Amino acid sequence: MSEASTKLGFTPNEMMTIAASRALGNDDVCFVGIGAPSAACNVARLTHAPDVTLIYESGTIGTAPDVLPLSIGDGELCDTAVTTVSVPEMFRYWLQGGRISIGFLGAAQIDRFGNINTTVIGDYAHPKTRLPGGGGAPEIATSSKEIYITMAQSKRGMVEKIDFFTSFGHGEGGDHRQRLGIGTKGPTLLITDLATWKPDPVTKEFTVVSLHPGVSREQVQETCGWTVKFADRLEVTPAPTELELSTLRALQARTKAAHEGTANGKAA
């Protein structure tokens, strides 16, 4: 994939970030995860959705960072926010109050029904790897009106059975969310570095609806731990535009310069 994408003028990660950014609209109120979700949301804000409202877990509302934050506690978020509220208010009033249209999450492990693990790899008591944990993601996954997920594909990440349920997706599939009394839609979009996936309307199993430019069905299957289902009408994701690429690259360059400056003891 890397060779093909290089010839096309963009990397798989750039395609993933830009494809994810396109899913957001001006009217969205988006609860943003750190990392790839943050990059996608801010590219949307800087291109086609200037009025999108970005909210981070630390309580910052309407933030418009010039560089991508290192964590939810990054001062850049508070400095550029319209307002900052307490964390309890953020979760009780904004999130659990049904005011978030999109929760944008990343994942260390994900299964075919959009259940996410960001807690441990291996047995919980004796894990092979202890991950950062859920933070507010479990609440985001159940209280946001719908969930978008972005991650790079690998058999280690896209697995038949996740090692730990950090954030509930569609559970066992079908109407599992409804049977548990969860009234929100759950994961409605998964964007990887190879493809765009959406849940089947009935089974809720994620199905590939669009391949990114230069990607084959075989590449998607080779990097996924379950048997992949493809839509009958499989599309090709539109390649990044010059504006989208230049916006993402400029954002990443500013972020790199700012964070290196901080590491070297210089003013960012």
85 φ, ψ (degrees, to nearest 5): -115, 170
Cβ atoms < 10 Å from Cβ of 79: 13
**218 an active-site residue?**
no
Strand bridging mode 53-55 / 29-32:
parallel
Catalytic residue among 57, 139, 205, 244: 57
133 CB contacts (<8 Å, ≥6 apart)?
118, 119, 166
**Cα 230 from chain centroid?**
21
Per-position DSSP letters for 108-131, written without gaps between them: SEE-TT--EE-SEEE-SSSEEEE-
State the Cα–Cα distance between residues 49 and 52, nearest whole angstrom. Answer: 6
Q: Taking Cα atoms as reference points, which of 158, 212, 205 lies closest to residue 17? A: 212
- Sign of the alpha-carbon torsion through 245, 247, 251, 257: positive
What is the layout of strands, in order, in the sheet containing 60-61? 83-84, 60-61, 53-55, 29-32, 102-105, 146-150, 187-191, 195-199, 206-211, 230-236
Do residues 133 and 119 lie in contact, with contact meaning Cβ atoms separated by under 8 Å?
A: yes
Q: Residue 67: helix, strand or coil by DSSP?
A: coil
- What does 223-250 look like in DSSP terms, one character per residue? T-SS---EEEEEEEPPPPPHHHHHHHHH
| Residues acting as catalytic residues | 57
